[in-house]
Chains A and B, each alone.
Chain A
């Protein structure tokens, strides 16, 4: 990695700020989950935040996103709204969906966070529809759809890739490749050896990253958007990363048989949050400034948690609201 950032100081700091926010929110979840106030299955982003943060920041406010069920980092990177985030995880009316959706379906439609699904790969075709609408109504606006390497095994991915390429839709396929579908390795699920190589057979730009470095991913995202606009093709980004915690739940499962110690050490040696912090320091940002920012985020997250705990539970009147369209 570059010792010193090549990005403007505020961008580099902004990336770190959001990375830290996503990481810190999940660290708080780990801390308070045993209190049993958040009754929702958690699929934690921890370790993988650079993908969401790099890409969402690259959208620069002119894009929509769709997340996988491992949606915390994507939601936070795109909206930075941890009040609604914690409200939803607590099942309260100040959440993104009055507490009806929980961890797996975070959304903020006005901000272009178009949702997440508990069904692997289900967001991918939806992204094409959103991209089609953008092509007609908001030229220049792209849709980034995040999914894991497991989703690539679904037929819906291949149908979507073909259609997006055939129609030249402004959709950025972002594969968060942690080598795992739940606990099953790519090598146990795929007959082919290189996904990017297969995707290159389509009329699609293919980019790869293995750095886990938020700045590299941010630049890759910026480059992809420029190219998508000039070449009128979709882009496929295969971004290698690593899941720190268990598939579902807040515990580390480093001792589970599917884990590899060397792999664990390798990725934790390039932790995306630590790398960006180090870069800022080496680039001359005073540690006091960083710490001040971190403490402010910490305090604000505690405010969100307290607000969630104090927010009303949804009442019976909300049980049926939203099942069908209701004229307002």
Chain B
């Protein structure tokens, strides 16, 4: 049901737009080789990050995956430092050592991401255990793709979280692809019913483009975590527009069809609310220009940085 967009929706749309456009800028810049880092683009999946992070306070912490640009921005990471990081410059959020796959911004609760599938899931559980120990009303979200649910560590983490009733929200960002392999070829179990069998409360959002719904559902689940209700499990279905890694389209690769994208394209908030989007473009572009300019002007890390922060 379409209602008149209010301020909240506008804010969420603007964030979605910002992420989309900055990643499109990455695509644009990529042939220049200024960004020498493998990029796993969020394009198409941005609303998931935007909705989840809307419900989080800066004290709430987030662990996520190598497809992390959207989360970094949505959680409140700054744009110039993001761009400089992708450029491998000293002004980057991690001084050029992290690149695209390891974005973090601890001051706003973005606790990092890993290139190894599923490896941050137990971090979310452990962080939630620490939060519980300290008696804080801090909630933790750990995001992973549907491919990660096949990893043993996902099962180990789910069990531990339920056993110790820690305040963690497991979010399965389900684009139905592990790299290029479909769910049916990989999974002999239904992830939701499986999680339910652990005694964990499960929720599924079929429309991963519904910003408001994702925000509302997440807010409700986080409230339950803070009240000591134990872990929660949320699946959000979404769609990856671009190839697994890299700036291109790959609808001719044979593992999926362009027609699969159609319904997602239709419900894409940037298309659905094209009129509102139009009015935001100039400002968003200016913001991205500033970030790119910052990155261009930032110096490469000095040689002595090579051996700093090893331990």
Contact = CB atoms under 8 A, between A and B. Distances in A.
A and B directly contacting (CB within 8 A): yes
A253 B272 CA distance: 69
11 contacts: A154-B156, A155-B155, A159-B151, A159-B152, A162-B188, A191-B200, A192-B162, A201-B190, A201-B194, A202-B189, A204-B188
Nearest to A164: B188
B185 A192 contact: no
A198 B200 CA distance: 12
B152 A158 contact: yes
B199 A193 contact: yes
A183 interface: no
B152 A155 contact: yes
A166 to B, nearest CB: 4
Contacts of A297: none
Contacts of A191: 158-164, 198-200
Given A165-B189, A191-B199, A202-B189, A159 B150 contact: yes
A203 B197 contact: no
Nearest to B160: A191
A203 B189 contact: yes
B153 interface: yes
Given A192-B159, A192-B197, A194-B197, 5 more contacts: A154-B156, A189-B163, A191-B158, A197-B197, A200-B197
A153 interface: yes
A39 interface: no
Interface in A138-173: 153-159, 161-162, 164-166
B187 interface: yes
A201 to B, nearest CB: 4
A259 interface: no
Among A159, A162, A193, A204, the one with the most B-chain Cβ atoms within 10 Å of its Cβ is: A162
Contact of A203 (B152, B159, B188): B188
Interface string B150-176: 111111101111111000000000000
B237 to A, nearest CB: 19
A162 B189 contact: yes
Contacts of B155: 155, 157-158
A166 B185 contact: yes
B36 interface: no
A267 B194 CA distance: 32
Given A192-B199, A201-B194, A155 B187 contact: no
Contact of B198 (A154, A157, A198): A198
Contacts of A204: 188
A190 interface: yes
A159 to B, nearest CB: 5
Among B156, B189, B193, B198, the one with the most A-chain Cβ atoms within 10 Å of its Cβ is: B189
Nearest to A194: B197
Nearest to A196: B197
B294 to A, nearest CB: 42
A149 to B, nearest CB: 13
B186 interface: yes
A154 B160 CA distance: 11
A166 B152 CA distance: 15
A194 B199 CA distance: 10
Interface of B: 150-156, 158-164, 185-190, 193-194, 197-200
A190 B187 contact: no
Interface in A174-205: 189-194, 197-198, 200-204
Contacts of A190: 159, 163
B159 A153 contact: yes
A235 to B, nearest CB: 13
Nearest to B122: A155
Contact of B152 (A157, A164, A193, A197): A157
A129 to B, nearest CB: 16
A191 B231 CA distance: 11
Contacts of A197: 197
A156 B152 contact: yes
B189 A154 contact: no
A153 B159 CA distance: 8
A174 B288 CA distance: 58
Nearest to A121: B152
Nearest to B155: A158
Contacts of B163: 189-191
A189 B163 CA distance: 7
Nearest to B159: A191
Contacts of B162: 191-192
A166 B199 contact: no
A190 B162 CA distance: 8
Contacts of A157: 152, 155
A203 B164 CA distance: 29
A198 to B, nearest CB: 4
**What 10 A-B pairs are tightest by C-beta distance, nearest first?**
A155-B152, A191-B162, A165-B188, A191-B163, A158-B155, A166-B188, A192-B198, A203-B188, A201-B194, A198-B197
Nearest to A125: B152
A138 B212 CA distance: 56
B189 A201 contact: yes
A189 B162 CA distance: 10
B214 to A, nearest CB: 26
